Structure formats: structure tokens, C-alpha cells
Structure 1
Amino acid sequence: MTDIQTEPSSNPAVPRSITREMHESYLTYALSVIHSRALPDVRDGLKPSQRRILVAMNDLNLGPRAKYRKCAKIAGDTSGNYHPHGESVIYPTLVRMAQDFSLRYPLVDGQGNFGSIDADPPAAMRYTEARMTGMSTELMSDLDKDTVEFEPNYDETRTQPTVLPSRFPNLLCNGSDGIAVGMATSMPPHNLHEICDAALAILDDPEVSIRDLMEIVPGPDFPTGGIIMGRHGIHSAYTTGRGRVRVRARHHVEDTGKRQRLIFTEIPYQTRKAADRTGIIAKIVEVVKDERITGIHNVEDQSSKDGMWLVVDLKRGEDPTVIANQLFKYTPLQTTYSIINLAIHQRQPRTLNLRQLIDAYLEHRRDVIRRRTAYLLRKAEARKHIVDGLLIATDNIDRVIEIIRASADRDEAKSSLSAEYQLSDRQSQAIVDMRLGSLTGLERDKLLAEHDALVEEIADLKDILERAVRVTTMMREDLEDLKKVYGDERRTEISSEEVDTDFDMADLITEDLMAVTFSRDGYVKRMSLDTYRAQGRGGVGIKGADAKEGDVLKSLFVASTHDYILCFTNMGQVLWLKVYNLPEATRTSKGRSITNLLSLRDGEDITSLLRVPEFDDESFVVFATRKGVVKKTVLSAYSRPKKGGIKAIRLEEGDSVVGVSLCRKGDTILMASSSGRSIRFDEQAARAMGRTARGVRGIKLKGDDEVVGMIVAEEGADLLTVCENGHGKRTPLEDYPIKGRGGQGVINIRTTTRNGPVVSVRQCRAEDDAMLITERGMIVRSHVETISCIGRNTQGVRVVNLRKDDHLVAIEVVSEADLERFNSPTANGEAGEGEPAAADPEPEALADSGTDPAMEPDSETDSPDEA
């Protein structure tokens, strides 16, 4: 085998730093991508690939009225003449310019399958055909009049425009998207009519502000319509060139009789409706399967050639507003569009605000009109020069013929004519080229008329170049013409409603009335109030929960799912929850430990829960402790607790909070003890204190007596008192005199071994419902009006039949106002499980004989002391 001898290279390798080579090569690549591929020119709004496609179509004379040509031909000519890339890259660009859901004003009129908003791919280029739209011809307008600069194509066989004349403000009206090296552009489309009006406003008043322009151009106008939520992002984009807007699908609610449905007729820009992995329908199905949205029955796409019609059927009883908000949160039915107004301006990538974008367009148009005018002036002057020579020839026709006949050839004739009449070479050439028929008198008259017209035209063109106001007038006429021919109505609505990055969870939760239970061992849950149907007085009740062995219910209250819950601990801390944060459970389940919902310290337990509809500075939180202490603090002090809680009250050793309520100025506070005592005093008797204060004495207790409850009294209400053995009564609050704070108070109910100690007090009205909770988890819901309204100095009547070894532990009142607010079914008076208890003796028979509550001495009330 013969060895191959290599000649020494004439260009030996030169050592070079790889760092420097990478740096310079990457910069070259980056600049090439920025200028030649990814970013649009601010003047015509086109990237090089788009511009070259339109130029190739213009070369093929594919105007709006021309016959369609195969896209394969267009892509081939673009690749062969202008764009140094393959047809597989050119065709997708051509397709996008034909999609009315991608461009607000399509530049290509396509025939065939050009894809769909469902993300269906277009047909192959050999099957589709295209031609230019009217907008494209406006971009090309006056291209042949030296209005823009040309440069050689990639193989220098022809020239191509560096920018189009762009009578149509394409960048602002169609927007642009592109990712370059280290930068990206994302410019939204706008309404042509509004952009033209904004440009006219600048022409009329060059000092017009961006704020004034925003009155004309309120925001982007997407081809797919939709609703822009809020104006903050628009203002940022128009003033700085960068901003973020939230675009929401347009929908309406339709009631079919059996159920309600959401009909979506417009979707956010650049989203797809398809059922594939990235489409809206697929995402809806996904969140339903994941149970993030549980109220949807079915999803169906009923769209047709008449428009979009995406149907979401809801389950019966679901709130359409809540489901819509859930869809906006979890699916592309609401998206964020980031605006980055980055474009090539004066050969540099620049981020531009609204005024700068319109100014750049107007300056380009001003330059185009000037260049077109200069071109027409040159043409007119050149023609006048020829006409002047022809008139000289017709005035001396006999001599001219003589000179031509005497000349040996055309060149000699031209020279002789030039010497005889001081003609230029072009004039003498035109005379030599004259036909004999043009020597008639009629033709001379035509030349004279043309000469006069040229003189007038030249004067007008010179006036345009000399007077800027003439150029401005022509620009104004162009804009008015664009509005008249292509202007249309805005598609995208702009709402003044601002939405945050994340929805408030309350927007995603139906507002319902719930019964919230809390057990001694800290288990909490919420259940629909309808779970507990009303029973007659003395009913046995229905099972409320399978309590953990040794656990008993501690409290129950009624709240909206949107209410706040302040959770007070045995360490005097307060933590914060929403009712919808609580687990929704069946009436027989024990719920969930509240320690899983809150960050509690070792040894810290929740002792009281307070429902707060909303925080304000006019309300106060009133605390009552087991040892008779009362404290009042402004509600707003508890509006923003930290994760681990904040201090709510300072407690003595062995004391705990037994009641927390809200009050306002002028209210009265009533505290009740287990021995049947109560005291009522004005809220101003307890001055407002800070969160860390201990409070003052509210009631003076004897022996092992302790406070079991507190209410903030309402005018016309009754005090509902229940005892451990199932007895209770209601007494008008007006029977409780207002005393000074800190005394022993007056009798609330006479306690004996028959009815047992007081376990709870609530205020109520006759039209309300009462929910009584037993130690074993039984819950009875009864009409308050079925519970006897009697005096203070009585033992009460039986309000619930207790099973063996069971005791009453708490009571909660469901107000008529809440029932009406949530349209809950009113009580029907039917007995629940078990039969109502036998009627007790008349209330009067239970009162101690010879004792008149109204005659009870006031000497039991002592003067208030600091606790």
C-alpha cells in the first residue's frame, strides 16, 4: 500500500484563544439572530422571513384579486430568491400570516387547510394556495418608487427591500412574538381604528401625552377577543414598554331547566381549545379528574363555522360564578400575556413605549412620502425635459427633417440636432425616435398640454418637499383612508376589575351556611346546615359525630364558608383560619384535628373559636374567662396574625377563655355562671385594652362557681339558657337589669339537682332555630319558639331527651337572617330520631313558690374591682 504524501498547507493553522474565539463567534451569531431572524423592524413590523415571503408574493403578482397560487411555489420562490433557509421553515411562517386567530389583520389570504384554533396542523404546502390580502398591498404600497433602501439578496443575484413602505401600521395592529439571544419580544395586537386615531392625535398635537393616547387606545385588541382584566398592566406597558395583562375567556350562563351551564364564546389569545394535552378542554378534564373542580357534569365542544361554543355543564345546585372562577384559576381560560415592546429601531434593539412606537411609524411614513415625492419629482422633471425638446422639434419641424435626412446615421443626426438647438443627448434621442405621425398639429397641442401639466406637477411636488405641513396632510389622508377601508370594531373588552396573580380562595368557594363543630380533644369539621333538620322540643336528636373514645363536643356555631375564624388558645394566643379551610365532613365523622390546620406550640390547645364576617375598626373583641375576667380589644388588632399566632390576652394561672364575642359602641355585655348567676353591664364599663392586657373583673364568683358563657345583648332578643340535664328556658333580655361591672349579678336560672348546672347561654329570637349538642355527640335542631319564654327565677323546661349517661354540653342558635341569606330550607317542625319528650309541667309550677323574680334584691351586686 502506497503512503499518501501530503503537501504542506499554504494556510497553516494560527493559534488562537478559544475564549476569544467563542466570544467573538457568539456575538456574531447573536447579532445575526437579533437583526436577521427574531425581532421585527419597528417601521413595518415584519421579521426578515415575513418580509421576504411578501416580496416573493409581490413578484408573483399575487394581489388580493389575483388567482391563488400553490404555497409550494411561494415557499420555493422565497427560498430560491430571498431567504437562505429551507421551505420547511418558510411555510409555517406563511401559514401563521394567514391565520385569523393568530393575526388581528391577516397578511395572507389562504385557501385550504391552514390549521385551526384547536391546534390542528395545516395541510402540506402542495395542497394549499394563497395570495396577499389588502393589508399586504398596503405594506407594499409605493415599493417601486424608491421609497425604501434595497440590498443584495444572499447570492447577490437580485436586490431586496430592507424594509417595506408600510402604509398600514402593522407592528401595532398585528403585534409580534420572537425569542432572540438574551432578549425576546412579545407585542400584542391592537385595533386599527384606534391606532389610526392615536396617530392622527399626534399629528394634530405633537405634545400629546401617553395618558391622552391611552384614552384613544384603551388596550390591546386580540383576534380571539376575550376580556382584559384591569388596566394596570396596560398602563405599565404603554408607559415603559413592559407589562403584564390578564386575559379571560368570555362566557355567559345558560339555564337548561335541569341544570345550569357555562357557555364560552371567546378564549384568551394564543390558547388552544383542543382536547389534546395542551388544550383547554383537556385541561378541564384533567382538573375534574384530579377533583380540583368537583361541580362539573360534562364538557362539550359545540363550535362550528358560526363561531366558538364551548359548553361546560354544571352539576345541579352548583354556583356558576364559583365554577367559572375555578376554571379561570386552574385552566387556560384565564392567562397572563406578558408585553415586551422590543423591536429593531435605528438598527438597535430597543424597548419602546406606546408613543415611541407610533412616532417611529409616523417618522417612517414621513420619510416614505418624502422619498416618493422626490422620486416623482425626478420623473416629472425628466419628462418635462423630454417634452421641451419635442416642442422645439415640432416648432422647427422642416429644419429638423432636413438635418435628419442629411445625416449618415442616427448618431450623426443626434449630434447635428444637439449642435443646432442646444439639446441634450436625451432630448436629441427622443427627437430621432419620433414617429412621423407625431408631427401633426394635434400632437403638438397634446405636448403643450402635457408640458403645462408637468410644470404644475413639478411645482406641487417641490411644495410638498419644502413644506412639512403638506407631508403631514398626506399622512393624515392615508390614515383616514385606512380607517374607512379596513377599520372594524374592537373585539377584546377591557374590564376595570383588577385580578391578582392568584385568585382569592373565597372566589372559588360557594358561600354556604355551615355548622362548625369543635370537640374537647380538638377535632373540628364543618357540615351543611341542612344536615340537621328541625325537630320538636324535646327531640332525641340525630347523631352528630362518632366521637373519639373519651372525647366530647365542646362547641358548635354557624358561619358562612367565607367567614373568618379567630382561634384562641389556652396560652392566650390567637390564630387565623377561614371556614372553608376546615374539612367538610359528614355528620357522623369526627372531623380533623385542628392541630393539623394551625401551627401550635407544645402544650398549646385551642379553647375558643370566634366567627368574624369581616375586620373593621368599629368593632371590638370581648373576652370572658372562666374566673370572671372581661377584656375588650379593637377587632382590627387581630386582623393579621402571624403563622404561629399573636398574643390575644394575658391569662392567670388556671384560667381560660370561655367566651369571645364581637361588640360595638353602646352594646351591653352579659356574663353567666354555672350556678345560675348573671350580670349585665355597659360595654364602656370595660375600657378598650391592648392585645397583651389581662382585663378587668366582669363578675364576682363564689366558691367553685365559674363563668360558662357571655353574650353581647341585642334589643328585643331573649337569653336562651340550657342546663346539663337537658333543661332550658328563654327569658327576655329586658328582664336583666344593667348593673355595674364586677358585681355578683342577679339570678339567671334557678339550678337544682333536677336540671343541673348551667352549661351554655345564647341570645335568640322566636323565629330562630336552636341546635343543642350532647356529650355523646347527639345534635337536636329545634325551633326556638317551642322553648318556653319564662322569667329568670325558674328552673326551665325539658328541651331535649337525653339518653342514659349523656349530658347537654352546648347550644348554638341559627338566626332567621342567616337562613334567609342562604335560602336554607325553613324548619318543618318534624320530629327527628325518637319521639319528643313528654310535656313538662307549666313553667309557673317550676318557679319557687312565693318568690317573685321582679322583687329580687339588688344588694347582690357589688362595686366593680380590677381583676
Structure 2
Amino acid sequence: MAKNIDNEFMQNQDNVILKPLEEVMHKSILPYAEYVIMERALPRVEDGLKPVQRRILYTMYELGLTPDKPHRKSARIVGDTLGKYHPHGDASVYEAMVRMAQDFNMRALLIDGHGNFGSIDGDTAAAMRYTEARLTPLAMEMLRDIDKDTVKFSLNFDDTLKEPDMLPGRFPNLLVNGASGIAVGMATNIPTHNLGEAIDAVIAQMENPDISLDELLKIMPGPDFPTGGIIIGQDEIRKAYETGHGKFYLRAKVEIENAPGGKKLLVIKELPYQVNKAALLEKILRLSEEKKGVLSGIADIRDESDRQGIRAVIELKKDADAEKVLNYLYKYSDLQVTFGVNMVVIADGKPQQLGLKAIIDYYIRHQKDVVTRRTRFELDRAKARQHILEGLMVAIQHIDEVIAIIRSSDTPSKAKQRLMDRFNFTDEQAQAILDMRLQKLTGLEISSLKKEYEELIRQIKKLKSILSSEKELIKVIKQELLEIKEKYADPRRTVIIEDVKEAEIRAEDLVYVEDAVITLSHNKYIKRVPAKSYSRSSRDVESVETGDGDYIEFVVESATDHKVLIFTDAGNCYTLACSDIPEGKWRDRGVPLHTLVSSIEDGEKPVAVLSLREFTEDCYIQFYTAMGMIKRTPLIEYDAKKTKIQACGLSDSDRVVAAELTRGDRDVMIITRQGMSIRFHGDEVPVVGRTAKGVKAIRLREDDEVIFGCEVDDEGEMVVVTDRGFVKRTLLADYQPQGRGGVGFRTIRFARSKSNGSHLVAAFYVKDPYEIILQQKDGTVSRVSTESIAITERDGAGELAVLVLMDNEVCAAYRNYKG
């Protein structure tokens, strides 16, 4: 086959025209691109219409298809449009015409269709030979005064007729009905808006050209779609209005209704703009068949829509969670879509991307031009009529002489000339006298001529004032816009959610928000326990299947829309979505942390677990290190997309021993392994960057290190545990504040014989009573209630809590979360 083509090419080489690519681009492709951009795909900023739409409306106007006239066959309209102004395919013209008659596409209909013009289910319109159409009252506002020289006209494609370059557009159609189109190298997508709001915004900017965008947003808060729905993303709307480019979420209006048998119904009453209802329901059905999880709770899908409006019903099974199913449908189906705003229009003869203020400014300039040209036209016509009336009134005053001159003349031309010579009439005045009917000589007609003349004088004065005063011109435009608003404006259909935080989380994270508790064991096993299950469980650590010497070290309240931050002693921060942590019961062991965070090292030890829904600017993360350093960094710096980031800078051989969320307005308590302690106010800790090492919190003695650090209040006690099983409880009030960076005070007195221990194993800040579990090297586990420990002075020796024999020692102490 290829060989035959090559042979044919060789035989017809003489017919092949060789041209450089840059010449072909310049002479063929660029003119085509320019034509598509200027004459097909993009609307003009003044009237918001593409050429085909403008030509259809003007053709219907010429055919006299006004709202008070009968409908006319669509085929006739399409044929006239093709023959006179738009030499393209009839399908493209009819499609454009149909769209202007569809109430689910146009916010303000421009064509009144009679017959089948399609549906929101994607049904196409009937053939043009079956349907009929005429202009709507609002379309007449687009064409109003077009016969008064208000817009420029140009020759049509064959130079036999003239067509308008744009329509007068007495309301801001570009904003009201929006536009969408794909040209060569560019596209446009302008949302629809509420007619009343758009007019109010135009008037506001016309009266105050320096009005801010935020002030305009109070008047016109955002798009208003013909199908209603809910817009999520006020900030994105502002960005789109400011730059001409942006996007926001558009969500269906869905109500949850109760059904017999304890079932729930998801009832869709409004759809996102340009979403096909039938295709949407078909996709939801397909998803319910494919998804074995949440969407398996869908029992039935049916369309109950009628002439009263949309009503699509998704029936759920008895045990299905309606909110959770709805959230999944928002994510996976077209119940929620992204609307991309790209406001590209033809302005000043070229395509431009414009913001809201610029679009309104162009429209105001257009209206000023339209009203000015109309006023000049009406002024010229009024002056011409005034001129005629002045001649008629002179003639009536000398009617006998005028009649005599006419009767004695041989021809009308001689009579005209004699009248001009006798009364100094112009040619137009003399001709009007000759054309005057005899009934004008009655007393009533003479009186009416005088009234008409007086009215003309007032009208001319008014028209001149409009032309000479910008203020009067704006007043006229404002009055006419308000009249259109009063006649045709309707209430807003689309709801805009201003406080979008909750809605955005539901849309983006795809998780049904459920309270939970995150647990992390000493050996790095993690799980998510639903709050309901957690509240019903015993929560005794002995009921947890932790394994060899393992125990639950962290229990953190959370929710499935939270982020979980895990800080380790190596100064790293690992971020997980709460919903990604496998769910389990309190007694379950959980899953190894490294299965969720592969980058965590075997030797890294978690020192803190935080659960956050949002990263506020007034909160900080505070770190305590073994070598006595303290560091405070804004929380916002840990809102990272990466799973692993550096959380804290460390010196060689140093490690993080604790981290916590703080506002920096409380006292800090630090306790060391050798039994020293220091308390100072949080405002002594400077705020530094994420990778900084921090400042000195306590000056350590040789072979000492920090084992505990946290913020404290004025109330509560400190409990410390030694390696020989001694415990001591001291009121926090006994720890006197001092300056940061000092040696501190003793928090326990070790005997020289080391009978009460040689070092501290753990320390606890206690405000409410709870149990402490003491674990010895040989596996012996003992329980001590904080209430059972006597309160003693700060530097006391403590009391024996558990018996430790021979070389055995307490190796760990942790809280029991029971109760």
C-alpha cells in the first residue's frame, strides 16, 4: 500500500506545491486562527454574544418575531441567518439557536422556543422543521434602539446587506448569560450571574469608578447558575474576578429525607451547571456496583423529576450512613464538579482576559456610547421636526395667502418655489406645507401643532443636557437599567458558602468525619480506635495485646479529618492522615508504624503524637532535648505535604525527649535524670525556625540529661519514679520559678547508699488522679495510684512503691489509661 502511494506521488510531482512552513503559517494557519478567535468562538465584551448568536437575534428581529407575534418555524430562521449573514452549516446555527432557548443553559433566555428544545438529561432538540421560535422580551432589550444609529454596522459576507458589529445590549448579557467556547490556542468559560445583581454592580461602578472589588462582591457575590446548586470557594471567586482566571467547586443541592422502614433518601433537587442528570445517575449506579465499601449502602436509584422540577432519589439501605455516602458521591461523581473560570473576550478588537471590574468598565463605556448615539439621533430627528413645525405654523398664520399662491401656481414645483421666495421657507418646510392635509386647518389640529412644538422644545433641551453632561448621561443609563431589573430580575438560585472550611474538607479529603483515638505503643505499633468503641472499652493497658515488654505510650484524641504528626527523638516529624491509620479495637495490637511511614528508622523513638485539624498561626511546637535545649517554632511550618520533614535541629549526640503544642503563655517545667528540676515562664523561650536548635533551658551536670519537659499550670503535682521503685509526689507550688538556663533545684534527694535509687526513670505532671504502671526488667508489672502517694517536700527522698530485688530495677513507668 505504501509503495503504491509513493509511486503515485512520484507520478504527480508536478502537481505538488512546495512552500516554506513559515509562509504557510503566515498565509493560511494564522488567518484561520484569527478568524476562529474573532468570528466564531469568543464573545464581544460589549454584548456578550458570539457572531452566530448576534446574527440569529438580528435575523429574528428583521423577521418581526417579537414576543407579541406568533412563533415562526426554526428552519425559516436558520435559513435566513445562513442566507443573509452566516454562511456556515445549518447544524451549527440551529445548535446556537437551541442553546439560547434552553432554560438549563441560559440564566436569562433570549429565544422563546416552542417544541422540543432538549432537556437536562442530554436529549437533543427536535429537528428544525418541527420546532418554532420567537424573541423573548429580554432579547428585545438586547436589540432595543438598534434602529436609532446606536451601533456600527458592517457589510455582510457578500457585501449585499449590512449587519450590526454588536447589539445595543441594554443589560450586561456577558455577565448574565456567560459564555463558553474553544478557539485556536485559547478558550473562554464565563459563568452566568443574576440579572438584578449584575445590574446593581454596573450601576455601582458607574457611580463610583474607583469602587473596590470587595465592594462589588458585596453587591454581586458570585455566579448564579440557571440550575442552582451550591458554590464552595469564596476566595477562588474573588481571584477569578480579580484576574479573569480561577476555579471553584460547584455542588448539587442534596437533601436527606426519611423513608419508611428507617431508611434514608438522598434527594437531588438541584444540579451543578451543565451536568447531565441521566449520565450522573448512571454513573452513581455504576459506582454503587463497583464500590464494595460505603457505596454498597445504595439500595436503589430512581428519577422522579417532573414539570415541577428536578427530583432524583438515591435510596439507601437501613444501616447505611447517609452523610458518609453523600461525601463519597461528592468526590467520585458529578454531584460536585470544578468550574474553571476563564474570562477571555474580544475587547478593543483583540482577545483579552479580563477581570470583573474591566468587563463592567467596557460595558459602561458601550452603554455610554449607545445612549449618546441614540440621543444624537433623537436630537437630530427632533430638530428636523421642529424645523417642519416652524414652517407649518408660519403657513397657518398666513393660510389665505398660502392657499392663493398654491392655487395660482401651474405645478407643485412652482408652488414650492413661490412659497420659499415669499416666506423664506426651506425646501423641507415648503414640501411639508404642500403635503399638509386640509384637516390640519381645523382649530383642534392647530392647537395640537402648538403643543407638539412646545413638547419638542422641552425634548430638545433635555437631549442637549444629556449630551452636555456626563452626570445626566449616567442618570439615563441607570434609570433604564433599573427598569429592566424591575421587570425581569428574579431571586438568586445558586447558594454561595462563605465559610468554606468544613465544606472544603469534606470535598477534598473524602473522609467521613468520625471522632477517634490514636494509640502508639513503645515498640511503634499504631492503631485508630473509633471514639464510640474507645468509650465502651475498659481501656486497661493489660487488656491490650501489646506483646513482649511493649505498652501503650501515647493515646491522642483525633478525628478522621485530622492530620497526625509524630515527632521522634531524631528530630524528625512524620505526617499521616488520621483516616489512613488502620482502624482497630482497644485490645488490638495495631500495625507497625513503618508500614505507614516507610522512611522511619528502626532506632527512632517517637516522643510526641499530635492530632490537628488545622494549622493555626498563633500556636507553636515546643521541643525539649536531652542536652537541656528548648526550642519553639510556629505550628504553620509543620503543615507540609511531605511525609517526613526535619522538625528540630540537634547537636551531635543530642536527642529530643519531648514535644508539645503550645501558645507560649504558660510556665515550663523540666526534670533531669539525676533529679534536678527547673521552672521558668514560657515568654523566655524565643520563636525560631523549624531547623533551628533552640536555646539552653537548663545547665546540666556531668552525666546528666533531661528526661521530662512540659508546660504546667499553677495547680497540680509532680510525680517522679526512681529505678529502685521509689515514688515522690510534690505540689507544683513548691517549684519556685527562676530564670531560663540555670542549674535548677533538686526534685528528689538520693541517699548516699542509693537505697532509694540512683536516677529517675520517669516524671509525670498530674492534675487529676490516675494509675502509673511500673515495669521491671524481669517483666514484673506493678500499679500505683497517684492518689496513694503521699505529698512531700520538693527535695524529699520519696517512698517505696514497689519492691525491687537484687539487680532488678524499674526500667519503665507509664500511665494506665483506664478510667
- Alignment deviations for residues 210-249 of structure 1 (CA, whole Å, 9 cap, x no partner): 3333332222222222333343223333333333333333
Amino acid at match of 1:733: E
CA distance in 2, matches of 1:664, 1:484: 64
- State the match for 1:837 in structure 2: none
- The answer to whether structure 1 residue 355 and structure 2 residue 366 are counterparts is no
Give, in angstroms, the shift of residue 120 of structure 1: 2.8
Aligned to 1:304: 306
Question: How many angstroms apart in 1 are the aligned matches of 2:335 and 2:363?
Answer: 34
**Residue number in structure 1 paired with 2:595:** 596
Q: CA deviation at 1:171?
A: 1.5
Of residues 215, 226, 229 in structure 2, which corresponds to 1:226? 229
- 2:49 counterpart of 1:46: yes
- The answer as to whether partners of 1:260 and 1:320 remain within 8 angstroms in 2 is yes
Task: Find out whether 1:716 has 2:769 as its counterpart.
Answer: yes
CA RMSD of aligned residues (A): 4.7
Residue of structure 2 in register with 1:147 after alignment: 150
Alignment of 1:619-634 (within 5 A): none
Give, in angstroms, the shift of residue 529 of structure 1: 6.8
Q: Unmatched 5+ residue regions in structure 2?
A: 1-14, 659-672, 674-705
The AA in structure 2 aligned to 1:338 is: G
- Local SS of the residue matching 2:146: coil
- Alpha carbons of 1:263 and 1:411: their partners in 2 closer, same or farther (altered >3 Å)? same
Alignment partner, residue 258 of structure 1: 262
| Aligned residue type for 1:114 | F
**Is the aligned partner of 1:474 residue 2:482?**
no
Alignment match of 2:277 (pick from 243, 251, 273): 273
> What is the match of residue 575 of structure 1?
574
Q: Give the counterpart of 2:485 among 476, 483, 505.
A: 483
Q: Which stretch of the first structure deviates more once superposed, 216-225 or 48-57?
A: 216-225
Residue 75 of structure 1: aligned partner: 78
Letter in 1 for 2:287: E
- The CA distance in 1 between the partners of 2:508 and 2:432, in whole Å, is 85
What residue number does 2:62 align with?
59
SS in 1 for 2:55: helix
* Distance of 1:458 and 1:532 partners within structure 2: 85
Q: Distance in 2 between matches of 1:122 and 1:140?
A: 26
132-141 or 237-246, which deviates more: 237-246
Q: Match of 1:200, as an amino acid?
A: I
| Contact 1:43–1:166 (Cα < 8 Å) also in 2 | yes
Q: Shift in Å at residue 475 of structure 1?
A: 1.6
The 3-state SS of whatever aligns with 1:167 is: coil
Percent sequence identity over matched residues? 34
Aligned residue type for 2:382: A
Q: Aligned partners of 1:460, 1:645: CA distance in 2, in Å?
A: 73
Q: Distance in 2 between matches of 1:590 and 1:734?
A: 30
Q: Which residue of 1 aligns with 2:132?
A: 129
Q: Does 1:282 align with 2:283?
A: yes
Distance in 2 of aligned mates of 1:358 and 1:85: 32
Q: Is the 8 A contact 1:76 1:87 kept in 2?
A: yes
CA distance in 1, matches of 2:519, 2:541: 21
Report the AA paired with residue 349 of structure 1. Answer: P
Q: Is the 8 A contact 1:721 1:761 kept in 2?
A: yes
Structure with more contact order per residue of length (Cα contacts < 8 Å, sep ≥ 6): 1
Task: Decide whether the 8 Å contact of 1:229 with 1:248 is kept in 2.
Answer: yes
The alpha carbon displacement at 1:505 in A equals 6.9
Paired residue for 2:610?
A: 612
Distance 1:149 1:552, change over 3 A: same
- Pair 607,698 (structure 1): closer, same or farther in 2 beyond 3 Å: farther
Distance 1:619 1:644 in 2: 16
Tell me which moved more, 196-205 or 29-38. 196-205
Shift of 1:598: 1.3
CA distance in 2, matches of 1:553, 1:191: 64
Alpha-carbon separation, structure 2, partners of 1:225 and 1:370? 37
Does the CA contact (< 8 Å) of 2:773 and 2:781 recur in 1? no
Distance 2:226 2:27 in 1: 42
Contact 1:249–1:268 under 8 Å retained in 2: yes
C-alpha contact 1:600 1:644 (8 A) present in aligned 2: yes
The one-letter amino acid paired with 2:765 is V
Could you tell me how far apart the structure 2 residues matched to 1:706 and 1:285 are?
A: 65
Go from structure 1 to structure 2 and tell me whether the alpha carbon gap of 1:71 and 1:552 turns closer, same or farther (over 3 Å shift).
farther
Which residue matches 1:376?
378
Contact 1:516 1:558 in 2 (8 A): yes
Tell me what 1:664 maps to: 711
SS at match of 1:664: strand
The SS at the match of 2:277 is coil
Alignment-derived partner of residue 192 in structure 2? 189
Distance 2:539 2:234 in 1: 58
Relative to structure 1, the CA distance from residue 306 to residue 709 in structure 2 (aligned partners, 3 Å threshold; closer, same or farther) is: farther
CA 1:717/1:151 → structure 2, altered by over 3 Å: closer, same or farther? same
2:682 alignment partner in structure 1:
none
Deviates more, 1:396-405 or 1:263-272: 396-405
Secondary structure of the 2:360 match is helix
AA in 2 matched with 1:48: P
SS in 1 for 2:25: helix
CA, structure 1 residues 712+301, in 2 after alignment: closer, same or farther (shift >3 Å)?
farther
Higher mean displacement: 646-655 or 726-735: 646-655
Deviation per residue, 1:559-593 (Å, 9 max, x gap): 44536655566867553434432223589987644
Is 2:170 the partner of 1:167? yes
| 2:748–2:798 Cα contact (<8 Å) kept | no
**Within 2, Cα distance between the matches of 1:528 and 1:13?**
76
SS of structure 2 residue aligned to 1:508: coil
Deviates more, 1:87-96 or 1:650-659: 650-659
* 1:453 to 1:337, Cα distance in 2 relative to 1, 3 A: same
Aligned partner of residue 48 in structure 2, secondary structure: coil
SS at match of 1:211: helix
The SS at the match of 1:339 is: strand
Structure 2 counterpart of 1:23: 26
- 1:464 aligns to what? 466
Contact 1:679-1:744 within 8 A present in 2 as well: yes
Q: Measured at CA, do residues 216 and 513 of structure 1 come closer, stay the same or move farther in structure 2, by a change above 3 Å?
A: closer
Q: TM-score, normalised by structure 1?
A: 0.72
Find the counterpart in structure 2 of residue 331 from structure 1.
333
Contact 2:87 2:157 in 1 (8 A): yes
| SS state at 1:375 partner | helix
**CA distance in 2: counterparts of 1:713 and 1:315, whole angstroms:** 48
Distance 1:404 1:528, change over 3 A: closer
Contact 2:537 2:586 in 1 (8 A): no
The 1:382–1:607 alpha-carbon spacing in structure 2 relative to 1, beyond 3 Å, is closer
User: Does structure 2 conserve the Cα–Cα contact (< 8 Å) formed by 1:762 and 1:813?
Assistant: no
1:537–1:645 distance in 2 versus 1, CA, 3 Å: closer
Q: How big is the shift at 1:259?
A: 4.6
In 2, Cα distance between equivalents of 1:193 and 1:364: 19
CA–CA distance in 2 between the matches of 1:635 and 1:448? Answer: 88
> Aligned AA for 1:149?
K
**TM-superposition CA deviations, 1:478-504 (whole Å, max 9, x none):** 122122111222222333224598769
Aligned to 1:771: none
Residues 204 and 600 (structure 1), Cα distance of their counterparts in 2 relative to 1, 3 Å cut: closer
Q: Which amino acid aligns with 2:333?
A: T
Q: Please give the alpha-carbon distance, in whole angstroms, between the structure 2 residues aligned to 1:247 and 1:35.
A: 30
Distance in 2, Cα, partners of 1:143 & 1:403: 43
Q: Which residue of 2 aligns with 1:848?
A: none
Range that drifts further, 357-366 or 48-57: 357-366
- Displacement of 1:715 in angstroms is 3.3
In the alignment of these two chains, the number of paired residues is: 734
State the 1:109 CA deviation.
1.7
Q: Secondary structure at the match of 2:38?
A: helix
Cα distance, 1:250 vs structure 2? 3.3
* Mapping for residues 678-757 of structure 1, pairs under 5 Å: 678=727, 711-720=764-773, 728-733=782-787, 735-737=789-791, 745-750=798-803
SS at match of 1:151: strand
CA deviations on 1:161-201 (whole Å, 9 max, x unpaired) are: 11111212212222222233333322222222223223333
2:670 aligns with none
* Equivalent residue for 1:340, pick from 342, 349, 352: 342
For residue 144 of structure 1, give the secondary structure of its aligned residue in structure 2. helix
- Listed one character per residue, the Cα deviations across residues 532-575 of structure 1 (whole Å, up to 9, x for unaligned) are 8979999997x959x8xxx7865476544536655566867553
Q: In structure 1, what residue type is equivalent to 2:63?
A: L
